[in-house]
Structure 1
């Protein structure tokens, strides 16, 4: 019988490409992951992975099944944190957000917010951090979702919602993957693909300089997909957050991630508002939604959540 545990173990293995890494991520034994995947393949009578010395590679059927697994786990997570619609919250809410937040964080939350608060008219604005800070202080925006680690205006209150680890991105064929450990020092002669959007370059420069090193920048780009494609095809390496990570490029080539030995700060995403103006009632409802979503002990990542559950799916 198909279980949520099997789906979570399958997703973790598909994303990380290694049973050993999936086991570490899930805090379980490798044998438990292997058994779950074997039982899943037998249950649906489909080969999901090709096993090789370099790891676990999804078959075409496995890639298709992964999207179904994501969809199922997302719906289960939504059901477990379901909030009944509140007719008490009505009115307009002007929300500003940066490019990365809109592209990789907000869409699903906006859907759930509009379902929870049908009387709330959310008006979304995409802009950069400096414009957001100005808009919050002059009243154009009620609240913002952005990278809180970049906020530097003392008139702005900021509250972190989630901290996304930054890891090294490599092509699945990169020789550095054979090493037991890696640090910034090991990347000095590698062509580095530098993402520039949402002040990503400024954030990178800070931790490279803290280590008294400088990356060998081969290209600067504002496109996350360009970084993904270039890294996957072996044309460079990058250090980016798990929030924007996907295991394949648009061309279908695989990327791997590695945790570096050096101190690399997380990418912190959260809320911001004007200290002087405070929060309107609608902005408070917006903030409370994220507090419940990320501070509730029931809410965890799709791959790590429910390690000890095996609910049957009918």
Structure 2
């Protein structure tokens, strides 16, 4: 039986989310389609890729090895199909400012691709807070930025959303809330809560908590995503964070599961920003066009 890209995508989604039901929701398909694809893939590979456990799907040793190959294959396919953008002879310097979360969990892969696509383009990257980025764009210190666009309210800036990353509840393996397909803020409020503060995460979190009659029992505020990951994986608390920063394993090798949140919790929007009423230079147009084509976006600046 031939291996297919569909099987690889279903396998990766299940490996990352740890549950067939969550993978099906994320892929907008039926659970049976995911189950069938994984069975077919295991037959093709000739090895069991998952251990079926009460709390979900755990990768076997063969599964972890195959996941690395799956990532490589899907990355190459993505590069082959989505990298025909603007003229690669564009040259010049482009100063790009990015926030901590974006530069750590989103931007590096795309910067590497851009530098291969446009070898004559000198991309200078800076990590800053959102406030410093806004000020730098308005004073022409930076040409463009990549940041959490949902945090920008300045009318003198243009924003263009690239990605919406769903926020879900992070819990450790075998947590009692995993018995439900989704949970509400009422149930989450009964759990010890780890509050991430970097990139205005605490401010964004308190917006949706404040709109509800419940409040989280915050036991720690931290600017470190890895600290949240380890604390959750080790059963010290729960957190609501975006899929973009989620990884299924902590640094200690313990698994982090995710659960859908029933109550309104806005996605984390990542995108581009630049100063309004300027003519985009060729390097800026190349940068913008890359993201539009890589994420299949229409022109959606505001």
Structures share a fold, TM > 0.5?
yes
Once the two structures are TM-superposed, the CA of residue 109 in structure 1 deviates from its matched residue by 0.9
Change (3 A) 1:293 1:68: same
CA contact (8 A) 1:173 1:234 kept: no
The residue aligned with 2:64 is: 63
Change (3 A) 1:84 1:209: closer
Larger mean Cα displacement after TM superposition, 23-32 or 148-157: 23-32
Change (3 A) 1:84 1:157: closer
5+ residue gaps, structure 1:
298-314
CA contact (8 A) 1:159 1:270 kept: yes
Higher relative contact order (CA 8 A, sep 6+): 1
Once the two structures are TM-superposed, the CA of residue 54 in structure 1 deviates from its matched residue by 2.2
Q: Counterparts of 1:271 and 1:278 in 2: how far apart (Å)?
A: 15
Larger mean Cα displacement after TM superposition, 42-51 or 168-177: 42-51
The residue aligned with 1:188 is: 189
The residue aligned with 2:176 is: 175
CA contact (8 A) 1:170 1:257 kept: yes
What SS class does the counterpart of residue 271 from structure 2 fall into? Answer: strand
Change (3 A) 1:277 1:229: same
Q: Any idea what the Cα deviations from partners look like across 1:232-255, whole Å, max 9, x if unmatched?
A: 111100000111111111111111
Q: Counterparts of 1:84 and 1:128 in 2: how far apart (Å)?
A: 30
Q: Counterparts of 2:217 and 2:144 in 1: how far apart (Å)?
A: 38
The residue aligned with 2:201 is: 200
Q: Counterparts of 2:33 and 2:94 in 1: how far apart (Å)?
A: 47
> TM-score scaled by structure 2?
0.93
Q: Any idea what the Cα deviations from partners look like across 1:189-208, whole Å, max 9, x if unmatched?
A: 21111111111011001111
What SS class does the counterpart of residue 94 from structure 2 fall into? Answer: strand
CA contact (8 A) 2:17 2:23 kept: yes
Q: Counterparts of 1:84 and 1:296 in 2: how far apart (Å)?
A: 13
5+ residue gaps, structure 2:
none
Q: Counterparts of 2:107 and 2:220 in 1: how far apart (Å)?
A: 28
Q: Counterparts of 1:276 and 1:21 in 2: how far apart (Å)?
A: 43
User: Where do 1:25-104 residues align within 5 Å?
Assistant: 25-83=26-84, 86-104=87-105
Q: Counterparts of 1:212 and 1:54 in 2: how far apart (Å)?
A: 30
The residue aligned with 1:301 is: none
The residue aligned with 1:133 is: 134
CA contact (8 A) 2:83 2:294 kept: no
CA contact (8 A) 1:192 1:237 kept: yes
The residue aligned with 2:125 is: 124
> TM-score scaled by structure 1?
0.89
Once the two structures are TM-superposed, the CA of residue 17 in structure 1 deviates from its matched residue by 1.7
Equivalenced residue count is 297
Q: Counterparts of 1:74 and 1:265 in 2: how far apart (Å)?
A: 28
User: Where do 1:153-164 residues align within 5 Å?
Assistant: 153-164=154-165
Once the two structures are TM-superposed, the CA of residue 145 in structure 1 deviates from its matched residue by 0.5
Larger mean Cα displacement after TM superposition, 154-163 or 90-99: 154-163
Q: Counterparts of 1:12 and 1:284 in 2: how far apart (Å)?
A: 33
1:106 aligned to 2:107? yes
The residue aligned with 1:259 is: 260
Change (3 A) 1:28 1:220: same
Once the two structures are TM-superposed, the CA of residue 42 in structure 1 deviates from its matched residue by 2.4
**Aligned residues: CA RMSD:** 1.7
